[in-house]
Amino acid sequence: MKRISYLLLACLGSLLQTVSAQSAGGWHSYLAYYNTSAVAEGNTLVYALADGSLYSYGKEDNSLQYYSKETGLSDNQINSICFHSGENTLIVAYANGNIDLVKENNSVYNLPLLLNSSIVQDKSILAIYGYKETAYLATAFGIVALNVQKKEIKETYRFNQAVSSITIHGDMIYALTPTGIQRGALKDNLIDPGNWQDYPVVTDGLKDTVLQLCSFNNALCFLVKNKGIWYQLENQAAKPLLTHASLKNIKVENGKLIAFSAGELFIYSSFTERDRGSIADIADVSSLKDNTVFWLANADKGLVAIQRTGANQYQTLASHSANEGPKRNLNAFMRMHNNKLYVAGGGRGIDRFNNPGAVAIYDTDSLKWNNLKDISGFRDATCIAVDPADDAHFFVSTWGEGVYEFKNNEFLTLYNHTNSALQTIFPNTTTQNHYIRVEGLCFDREGNLWMTNTEVSNVITVRKADGTWTSLPYSDISNPTLADKILIASNGQKWVNLVRVNKSGIFVFDDQGTLDDASDDASHYYSSLNDASGNIGATEFPCIIEDKKQKIWIGTNRGVFIVSSPARAAEGAMPGARIIHIDEDGNSQYFLADERINAIAVDGGNRKWLGTRASGVYLVSEEGTEIIHHFTTANSPLLSDAIESIAINDRTGEVFIGTANGLISYMGDAIQGSDNYANVYAYPNPVRPEHDNRVVITGLMEESNVKITDARGNLLFQGRSTGGQIIWNCLSANGRPVTTGVYLVFASSPGATESVVTKIAIVR
């Protein structure tokens, strides 16, 4: 019987606010800001660099700002910052040589000349020194002179070796290189290498150990490795100023010579006037405005301001932590479970990466991050599985120590070869506890936890719902170099992707629901994948997923392979095909045939998000035949074109994209379809002039037929929902913006067994 619901306009409170906070098509970065490593004081803002990302503190309003490509920066992975007082400009240098000039009003001017240069390979900017209208950039090949006022690179001084420190003393510029100190007169043509001379440090034993240069109190000063600070007047021998084996850096700001180690701060007003403070975890210091106030980059404590109150006495003025996001920019694996994003940042190649445990949980309702506490020995987390019977109970696999069990984010138990069916690669050796390599974790409907155990005889191991353990001896995949993830398909079959060349491929098995009886099992190992034309030539199989119509999508280094009829895959029958696209000339070709697919995710509309090794992210249609979006660093705020993982929040459509440079999300337009039409609504509603003429109708059943009419019944728009929602651009059928008024939305299920009517108000 057909059921009709009629919904009036209503505000759905916090749910509506949360869902609409990031509109469809919007981007949001989730970057780590835990390890503050550099600081530069500006006029009203203090800038800080943490984990390769930039944030600032407002000295007048105590505000924190976060900067990324989505806020206007031109790139990712910053390696140095410097505030140029003369031009009131923050110079931002990226690892790839790109440069941004940032004003305190957040305007950004990009200088990509070094980035785009084909003359040099290593474009790293190692240090920045401001002088008058110029910023001198110490690079891997020499010095780049940047005119900050004119926003242009005016000169390049090539040394064909790295310059690690620059200072100007008198009328000379000094450059520290691996072979010693070079200097040249500012009035000379410094592009000519002949106008640079060796500058001898007139004290034996210092030349090869100088780490830093600066000019202070009419002397050239040196930070000397394991010795401390020395200074030298022209034509005189260098003299020691501070003997200290652990100094990290020296700089001159606001008339003070600042030197620091990890736990001590030294402030020189002259060679005879010195203050000292004991402060833990100093990574950098800046003091450009008030020479009694010092801003410290304080590692995991964030940004700390201290003020001199007397001789060798300092008080803390403020402490500001920006660590509200993930603790590290590591996201090798991601999984959504009940509106929470679980992120594991482990790494493994031929050997392990020794990444810290790095497990973070993001609650998409509260918008809060929870980073698990560091646990001794907890490294290279590879996968996370949440107990379907208890959201507070989850397991984390590692590439060496086995499987960790957690409850309420607290560590409970480590399972390894001593207390479970897991095996170590090297039994009865001193290293056996660090070679229990587990890559994949997955719960089945009965609460059994399945996992893959690499380089051992019994690859498939199960922790049963009752807490007992077993392992399944499938000889076809015994001792693989890398048994990756495990997928439990809707028909109960288990799929494992084997990544490494010595035993790569796909393994499918069906235990028939009888874990303790192997006699009825069916299994098949596919060392290669074949379509109608034969072997597709894939040698790597990084990912595997089941879509909403029970098709299996396999990511390979030769693009995507789709198994449309997987029912008998465990018996050796696995017909499949690659995606074929027609190019502009009408020629057919395999889609992404030469690209490695690292991650695949299915959205609410059964469309596929494909993460590639080097070409960014593709959103393709349900069958993959249409490219809907292709996002790269060149056309979007995407943090890197190297994609590691993708996870989708089906409730909101937010697509989380884990990249080599951190985590970012894109608000997609597809959500999970609803079971009925009880919660259909539109937002924004009413649509006002300040909105972007995009209204979202959500809460629909999957593949709903949607029509929008005016009050007279004239049809303005019709379409099919993508999953549980559809977007209307507020245009009529002839492409013109509709006028002020109330418009009717009619939606019906695919079989027309249920329907709904709601209204949208538009105010021009």
The per-residue pLDDT for range 732-753, each reduced to its tens digit, is 999 999 999 999 999 999 888 8
* 8 Å CB contact between 583 and 595: no
How far apart CA 452 and CA 375 sit, in angstroms, is 23
The per-residue pLDDT for range 399-434, each reduced to its tens digit, is 999 999 999 999 999 999 999 999 999 999 999 999
DSSP strand pairing (403-407 vs 393-400): antiparallel
481: tokens are 């170099």
DSSP strand pairing (303-310 vs 313-320): antiparallel
Write down the pLDDT at residue 9.
33
Whether 291 has a pLDDT exceeding 80, the answer reads yes
| Banded pLDDT at 168 (limits 50, 70, 90) | very high
Global pTM?
0.89
Whether 209 has a pLDDT exceeding 90, the answer reads no
As a whole number of Å, the CA-based R_g of the chain is 30
Write down the pLDDT at residue 357.
83
Q: DSSP character for 141?
A: S
Whether 242 has a pLDDT exceeding 90, the answer reads yes
Whether 387 has a pLDDT exceeding 60, the answer reads yes
How far apart CA 91 and CA 102 sit, in angstroms, is 6
Whether 349 has a pLDDT exceeding 90, the answer reads no
Write down the pLDDT at residue 190.
96
Write down the pLDDT at residue 456.
96
Write down the pLDDT at residue 518.
82
434: tokens are 């660090």
Q: Residue 68: how many CA atoms within 13 Å on its side-chain side?
A: 23
How far apart CA 190 and CA 449 sit, in angstroms, is 67
Q: How far is CA 676 from CA 219, 672, 673, 698, in A?
A: 79, 12, 9, 12
Write down the pLDDT at residue 500.
76
Helix (H, G, I), strand (E, B) or coil at 548: coil
Q: Which of 31-35, 69-73, 199-203, 560-564 has the lowest mean pLDDT?
A: 199-203
How far apart CA 541 and CA 498 sit, in angstroms, is 6
Q: Residue 646 CB: number of other CB atoms within 10 A? A: 25
Written as one string, the DSSP assignment of 232-285 is E-TTS--EEEEE-TT--EEEEETTEEEEE-SSEEEEESSSS-EEEEE-SS--EE
Give the helix ranges, DSSP H, for 60-127.
113-116
**Which strands form 662-667's sheet, in the order they lie side by side?**
27-30, 662-667, 654-659, 643-648
Residue whose pair of structure tokens reads 């960790």 in the numeric block: 404
The per-residue pLDDT for range 577-634, each reduced to its tens digit, is 999 998 878 888 999 999 999 999 999 999 999 999 999 999 999 999 999 999 999 9
Write down the pLDDT at residue 272.
93
Summary mean pLDDT of the chain: 91
* 8 Å CB contact between 641 and 633: yes
Q: Which run of H or of E encompasses 17?
A: helix 13-20
Nearest to 702 by CA among 496, 508, 480, 548: 548
Sketch out the chain's domains with CATH numbers.
3-19+673-762 (2.60.40.10), 68-199 (2.130.10.10), 333-667 (2.130.10.10)
Write down the pLDDT at residue 19.
39
How far apart CA 417 and CA 402 sit, in angstroms, is 8
Helix (H, G, I), strand (E, B) or coil at 161: coil
Write down the pLDDT at residue 121.
82
Using alpha carbons only, give the angle 592, 594, 600 rounded to the nearest 5 degrees. Answer: 50
Write down the pLDDT at residue 586.
82
| Banded pLDDT at 208 (limits 50, 70, 90) | low
Write down the pLDDT at residue 66.
93
| Banded pLDDT at 22 (limits 50, 70, 90) | low
The per-residue pLDDT for range 292-330, each reduced to its tens digit, is 999 999 988 899 999 999 999 999 988 888 888 999 999
- Specify the long-range contacts of residues 17-21, CB closer than 8 Å, at least 24 apart: 18/365, 18/367, 18/652, 19/652, 19/683, 19/698, 20/683, 20/684, 20/696
The per-residue pLDDT for range 76-117, each reduced to its tens digit, is 999 999 999 989 999 999 999 999 999 999 999 999 989 998
Whether 6 has a pLDDT exceeding 50, the answer reads no
558: tokens are 């030769």
Write down the pLDDT at residue 2.
41
Nearest to 546 by CA among 503, 502, 508, 498: 508
Whether 3 has a pLDDT exceeding 70, the answer reads no
* 8 Å CB contact between 195 and 188: yes
Q: What are phi and psi of 551, to 5 degrees?
A: -85, 145
Sign of CA dihedral 373, 374, 377, 379: positive
161: tokens are 């070796």
